[in-house]
Structure 1
Amino acid sequence: MKIITYFSIYQIKYNYRITMSNNKSNHLFLLIQTLSKSEKRNFKLYANRIRINKHAKFMKLFQVISKMDFYDEKKILEDTSIRKVQLSNMKSHLYKQILISLKLQHTDNNYDIKIREYLDIAKILYNKGLYIQSLKFLGKAKIIAKIYEYNSILLELVEFEKMIESQHITRSLHSKSGELAVESKELIEKIQYTNALSNLSLELYGLYLKVGYVRNEKDKIFIETYFRTNIPKFDFKKLFFYEKLFLHQAQVWYHYIRQDFIMCYRSSYKWVELFKNHKKAKKIAPVSYLKGYHYLLGTLFYLNHYSKFTDVLKTFEKEVKNGEILINENTKILIFMYTYTNRINKHYMEGSFSEGVQKIIPSLLIDFKKFSNRLDYHYIMVLYYKIACLYFGSGDNLNTIRYLLKIIENKKKNLRQDLQCFARLLHLIACYESGLDENMDQKIQSAYKFFIQMDDWYIVQKKIIYFFKNLGNVYPHQIKCQFKKLRDKLIKYYHHPYEKRTFLYLDIISWLTSKIENKSIEIIIKEKFLKKKKTIIKSFFK
């Protein structure tokens, strides 16, 4: 009851902040909210380097906004001497000053920023006619760019170097111009190759976000043809870090969409191992490293490989705790999402739903409050569905419905259509279980229309919808028989290449078994988990 009350209060505040965050004038507030203590301290030192700034209006504006829980323009005008007509310009000035301060503070930790800084200095020196000095800074920038494979920036450096060498006497060797021409050509080819792989990965990810897994033979042929025609020919031994990374990403999404989780596991494992073989890359591309871990855990979850899943999850959490992964506001969001998603998945596999609700939900809601105004809605939908399933497994149907409605009532119909479809199926089941079935016919009709609209009307979905539609005509003593009939029908499709995707989103078989055996779904899944565990132990000692 405490959780429900807390959430209701929180939701009011959250909805208000979401509304405000859509306002462009709120960008400054969001930026200041992401600043760490050291970044705030560094900004004050940067701004106060000019003595007059200590009492400047933009500094007072910074102090007031820093103390706010949500953006309040009225309070700003009351607590500062800034007039309303000045506020827009003052916010723009403060925003710009904070960004400059952040750039100066983080230059040493972001090698691409360092390269750009050297390039800026090189251009200034060039404009002053100091060509030799300009080339020296370009040389420094090129060394960093080559080490960390910033090929796009490296090409820009080479082109600038070519321009200096071609137009001015720099006392360089005669062969230098030829070397630069070859270097430029090789970089262009490398960038084109990398772009082809990254574009393929991005397109596949976009397809998954739109419709999820392949639904039929037509989808399968499309995705296989698309992959074959867009993946460039390659010699893996000659690939550099980023080329290998984009290749593994594209392969992961290709196998993921096709529901080939064994191949997906192999590709995601190679993805994570790539970073372990290039330890510096963990600090340079931490987002990609985190994503690799998440997809590796996701495929192990779908393969139901519990022991391997728990080992990888422990390793992941240990690396985060030990600071092996670069922590910034961006990676904090991903760590939040991936940690909670996979902790919930662990409870799914164990059948320990009630324990999951007690251990995870309170801390999840607190952390969700910190990141809610910066979370992508795709992540929010996934999290809502995970929470709903956790509540459903624990027998709390009212909270299940509460979170499913957040998915069902959203306006983004073109995002994760698969998740929206299966949220409606689980919603029907939760309404039936909770006794909130007074408008069941209307709910069934609404779900039916949505499946048709989303072009996701297949055998398993049809049988579940028709089951609920006809349930009102069944006598109480016949209900258990109807559950048995539906389970027998659905089990036939459990390993079907396309129909099986329903069971990835919804463990309908365990629910039906719970109704037939008069047990909770939590007990049914827990019994299956323990039985599998005993089987593995017996086979180990044979």
Structure 2
Amino acid sequence: MLKKKKNQSDYLFLLIKTLSRSEKIKFKIYVNRIKQNQHSKFLNLFEIINKLDFYNENLILDKTNISKKQLPNVKSYLYQQILKSLEIQHTKNNYDIQIREYLNFSKILYNKGLYIQSLKLLNKAKIIAKYYEYNTILLELIEFEKMIESQHITRSIHSKCRELSTSSKELIEKIKYSNTLSNLSLELYGLYLKVGYVRNEKDKIFIETYFRTNTPNFNLNKLSFYEKLFLYQAKIWYHYIQQDFLMCYKIASKWVSLFQKNEKNKKISSISYIKGYHYLLDSLFYLNKYLKFSEILNQFKKEVKEKKILINGNTDILIFMYIYTNQINKHYMEGTFSEGVKKVIPSLFLKFKKIHNRMDYHYIMVLYYKVACLYFGSGDNKNTIRYLLKIMENKKKYLRQDLQCFSRLLYLIACYESGLDENLDKIIQSTYKFFQKNDWFFIPKEIIFFLKKIGNLYPNQTKNQFKKFKKKLIKYYNHPYEKRTFLYLDIISWLSAKIENKSVESIVREKFIKKYQ
């Protein structure tokens, strides 16, 4: 990971660094509308921070007339002014902000006693909320409208109260149903982060029972857009945890298709649309469907290039993550690891340098693992070890156990390949203890025992042992629980490379050419 500069995580600094050139210009126009702001301390502070590569409080105090005692208040005020400017700039593209603005204006008019005008603005807000299915905000609008209608003479028709009451009840049921599905999806995701894929029959029965008992009855044809989306999210995690990637592919296809049939939602819920593409590509990668994978990846990149997907701070990170990890996956499938190192790694870290401050550490660790595997396939064990150590030395809690475990396993193999014999026994012992502590099972432990055994043999004895071990592992290649190791680590190609005295890259490349020639 890039070394973190002191105070680089300062909130104001990070906010200013996320602003686009257009947003900065519009912010200056916003504050300069008031003449006395033109030489204000907060604007001076903005200009100074904007020029810094990292947050430096001493430099700020030297270059401004702000005292150390004043600085927290000036920073806080500048932060609020930037947010207000951004709110104005982004209202047009964020319909929920528009609705909130109408609601705020409506309440101001209500407090002035202008009930009819207040209701007119509420009606405008309701039209937008209904169209874009913002049901939670719509309920708030209806509740406020009910309060106005029930407490004041507005000359509304008699049936209005009954209509509002019915709408409120229907919305509460819809929101309750959507929450049940979204909660199910979130809880399944939480289980995946904690334990990864199902480990045994007990895990499988637990997931199946949990999903069945927590999924409400539904008629798919009657579900709204978001109800279908939450259902697909829950189903994806249900099948993903069980390593049923064919079903994941089918559900992810429906997920992406749902957005493509509802164009307006692509920009409203762009993060969910991007994630649909991610699960679609992930499933195709694990199913080893190269041609379809390449087609979908190109389709995704085309949509990004043509700006059919909204680009903002959040989507920018996800697009970066999913395009680069899948470009790496494409090189895995093709067996072009060295080409991937040359073509992908430089541009990846150039972009990463600009956005790593805003990335979730989990995403960063996944990226490091992908990069480490790319280096391993290219035969560069030094860089493999370098990036795996970044994962293994990560002290953050709740980092996915499976990512930690397989990082240690690949680290052990890379150390063996590097000829680090003097430390190998110590590394093997440490790796075994980690797996034992985390209740991991057959294949990882067998790999550890194998490497311990092979390290004590003469070179002329090893090839036969590699053959025996490969034959032993192949039996588990499609095992419902043990196959997870092969998803993270192409141990069979590595064993084949040792047996045939070839590189891992050439083994994978030969398999690819044979399949797609």
Report the TM-score when normalising by structure 1.
0.94
The answer to whether residue 471 in structure 2 is matched with residue 488 in structure 1 is yes
Name the CA distance, whole Å, in 2 between partners of 1:521 and 1:106. 50
Opposite residue 373 of structure 2, the aligned amino acid is C
Name the CA distance, whole Å, in 2 between partners of 1:295 and 1:433. 33
The answer to whether residue 4 in structure 2 is matched with residue 20 in structure 1 is no
The Cα of 1:443 is off from its aligned counterpart by: 0.6
CA contact (8 A) 2:421 2:455 kept: no
The Cα of 1:436 is off from its aligned counterpart by: 1.9
Name the CA distance, whole Å, in 2 between partners of 1:272 and 1:221. 29
Greater CA deviation, 294-303 or 434-443?
A: 434-443
Opposite residue 107 of structure 1, the aligned amino acid is T
The answer to whether residue 81 in structure 2 is matched with residue 97 in structure 1 is yes
Name the CA distance, whole Å, in 2 between partners of 1:393 and 1:16. 29
Structural mapping, 1:196-275, within 5 Å: 196-275=180-259
Name the CA distance, whole Å, in 1 between partners of 2:499 and 2:175. 59
Name the CA distance, whole Å, in 2 between partners of 1:410 and 1:186. 48
Which residue in 2 is equivalent to 1:472?
455
Which residue in 2 is equivalent to 1:399?
383
Aligned counterpart in structure 2 of residue 429 of structure 1, from 408, 413, 425: 413
Name the CA distance, whole Å, in 1 between partners of 2:389 and 2:7. 22
Opposite residue 459 of structure 1, the aligned amino acid is F
Name the CA distance, whole Å, in 2 between partners of 1:475 and 1:43. 70
The Cα of 1:413 is off from its aligned counterpart by: 4.9
Which residue in 1 is equivalent to 2:398?
414
The Cα of 1:222 is off from its aligned counterpart by: 1.2
Name the CA distance, whole Å, in 1 between partners of 2:347 and 2:458. 44
Structural mapping, 1:59-78, within 5 Å: 59-78=43-62
Name the CA distance, whole Å, in 1 between partners of 2:18 and 2:396. 27
Which residue in 2 is equivalent to 1:539?
none
Aligned counterpart in structure 2 of residue 512 of structure 1, from 477, 490, 495: 495
Which residue in 1 is equivalent to 2:320?
336
Structural mapping, 1:310-329, within 5 Å: 310-329=294-313
Q: Report SS of the residue matched to 2:227.
A: helix
The Cα of 1:437 is off from its aligned counterpart by: 2.6
The Cα of 1:475 is off from its aligned counterpart by: 2.0
Cα deviation per residue 1:305-331 (whole Å; 9 max; x = unaligned)?
000000000000000001100111111
The answer to whether residue 433 in structure 2 is matched with residue 446 in structure 1 is no
Q: Report SS of the residue matched to 1:69.
A: coil
Which residue in 1 is equivalent to 2:485?
502
Opposite residue 73 of structure 1, the aligned amino acid is E
Aligned counterpart in structure 2 of residue 459 of structure 1, from 438, 442, 447: 442
The Cα of 1:248 is off from its aligned counterpart by: 0.6
Q: CA RMSD in A?
A: 0.9
- Count of aligned positions: 517
Percentage identity across paired residues of the two chains: 71
Which residue in 2 is equivalent to 1:280?
264
Structural mapping, 1:366-385, within 5 Å: 366-385=350-369
CA contact (8 A) 2:435 2:445 kept: no
Name the CA distance, whole Å, in 2 between partners of 1:496 and 1:474. 30
Which residue in 2 is equivalent to 1:532?
515
CA contact (8 A) 1:354 1:394 kept: yes
Name the CA distance, whole Å, in 1 between partners of 2:131 and 2:421. 63
Opposite residue 526 of structure 1, the aligned amino acid is R
CA contact (8 A) 1:350 1:525 kept: yes
The answer to whether residue 107 in structure 2 is matched with residue 123 in structure 1 is yes
Which residue in 2 is equivalent to 1:44?
28
Name the CA distance, whole Å, in 1 between partners of 2:506 and 2:158. 79
Name the CA distance, whole Å, in 2 between partners of 1:194 and 1:453. 39
The Cα of 1:16 is off from its aligned counterpart by: 2.2
Which residue in 2 is equivalent to 1:81?
65
Cα deviation per residue 1:264-319 (whole Å; 9 max; x = unaligned)?
00000000000000001011011000010011000000000000000000000000
Name the CA distance, whole Å, in 2 between partners of 1:255 and 1:167. 51
Name the CA distance, whole Å, in 1 between partners of 2:499 and 2:398. 37
Name the CA distance, whole Å, in 2 between partners of 1:153 and 1:277. 24
Which residue in 2 is equivalent to 1:138?
122
The answer to whether residue 166 in structure 2 is matched with residue 182 in structure 1 is yes
Cα deviation per residue 1:200-230 (whole Å; 9 max; x = unaligned)?
1111111112221111111111111111111
Report the TM-score when normalising by structure 2.
0.99
CA contact (8 A) 1:286 1:331 kept: yes
Q: Report SS of the residue matched to 1:16.
A: coil
Aligned counterpart in structure 1 of residue 156 of structure 2, from 169, 172, 190: 172
Name the CA distance, whole Å, in 1 between partners of 2:89 and 2:361. 31
The Cα of 1:455 is off from its aligned counterpart by: 1.5
The Cα of 1:472 is off from its aligned counterpart by: 2.9
The Cα of 1:21 is off from its aligned counterpart by: 4.2
CA contact (8 A) 1:201 1:249 kept: yes
Cα deviation per residue 1:486-532 (whole Å; 9 max; x = unaligned)?
10110110010000000000000000000000000000000011111
CA contact (8 A) 1:463 1:486 kept: no
The Cα of 1:243 is off from its aligned counterpart by: 0.5
Cα deviation per residue 1:138-173 (whole Å; 9 max; x = unaligned)?
000000000000000000000000000111110000
Name the CA distance, whole Å, in 2 between partners of 1:82 and 1:207. 49
The Cα of 1:473 is off from its aligned counterpart by: 2.5
The Cα of 1:349 is off from its aligned counterpart by: 0.2
Opposite residue 16 of structure 1, the aligned amino acid is K
